[in-house]
Amino acid sequence: MSPPTTDSRLLGRIAVITGASSGLGKATAIRFANSGARIICADLKSAGVEDEISKQHGKDSATFVSCDVTDESQIEDLVKQAVKWGGRLDIICNYAGVAVETSHAMQTRCDSLPTKDFDWAMSINCRGVWLCCKYALKQMLAQEPREPNARGERTRGWIVNAASMAGLIALNNTPVYTASKFAVVGMTKQMALDYAQDRIHVNALCPGFVESPMIQHFTDDAANKAQLASRHPWNSLGRPEDIADAALFLCSDESAWITGHSLVIDGAYTCG
């Protein structure tokens, strides 16, 4: 295994990552820490990601905060704890999400999906993202902006929302997941408009199928995995690290004039 990529692109920045205990969130937490950020790992339960980061970068490089994104008070408290620990909030990556259709073996159309499943998934994928943005924006507006970047602009913060290519195209048998991710793309664009004048970046990630716990039930079967990979012109599934690198770009000064963008990372899936 090659050594982790390290640089100083996020040096000194305080980053909250929801859904940090596994998959894309875990990969992003580690990648951001390797680029100099201090990380607040947020999830329902700790999986030790903060310990992994602290072991490599020092005890003050990461911490864990339990947060259920369906509970507004817990989201508000998450931001408060992040500021208490780090002094400010520079970045929030809203990765906590579910694909409720996976419990129905990916053969679910709208007429057969229980309404309670719709409500639960939307409370996490849509309402939870909106609330995380709300409280992050409140904090970013209240704090001093960072030092000037190469454009001479002082940025107040970076928000990255986990959408999906299912927020750009419809996927079969995913009536709730598709609806929630289209909502994330829409709210990202709208918030980018409202907060551009405040120099707060709001962008989204739109991955294709990525090897992660969300689709593990499907990829555990070699034939299914190969079939799913073949649907991408690149003929492979994504890795969590691919998404983490894209998030790093969107939260770095290299994206100084980018906001309201939905970055597609899908091996050309949506090109067909």
Catalogue the active-site residues: 177
What is the total residue count of the chain?
Answer: 272
Tokens of 34: 């390797």
CA 151 to chain centre: 26
Question: Which residues are paired to 263 by β-bridges?
Answer: 205
Q: In 3-state terms, the chain is what percent helix, strand and coil (to 5)?
A: 50, 15, 35
Tokens of 189: 């664009």
Report d(CA 222, CA 248) in Å as an integer: 31
Tokens of 262: 């939905």
User: How does strand 200-207 pair with strand 62-66?
Assistant: unpaired
Which residues lie below 8 Å from residue 180, measured CB to CB, with a gap of 6+? 97, 121, 122, 125, 126
Own/partner long-range contacts of 67-76 (Cβ < 8 Å, ≥24 apart) = 67/18, 67/42, 67/43, 67/96, 68/44, 69/18, 69/96, 69/124, 69/128, 69/129, 69/131, 69/132, 70/123, 70/124, 70/127, 70/128, 72/131, 75/128, 75/131, 75/132, 75/134, 75/135, 76/135
Cα–Cα–Cα angle for 136, 134, 259, rounded to 5 degrees: 75
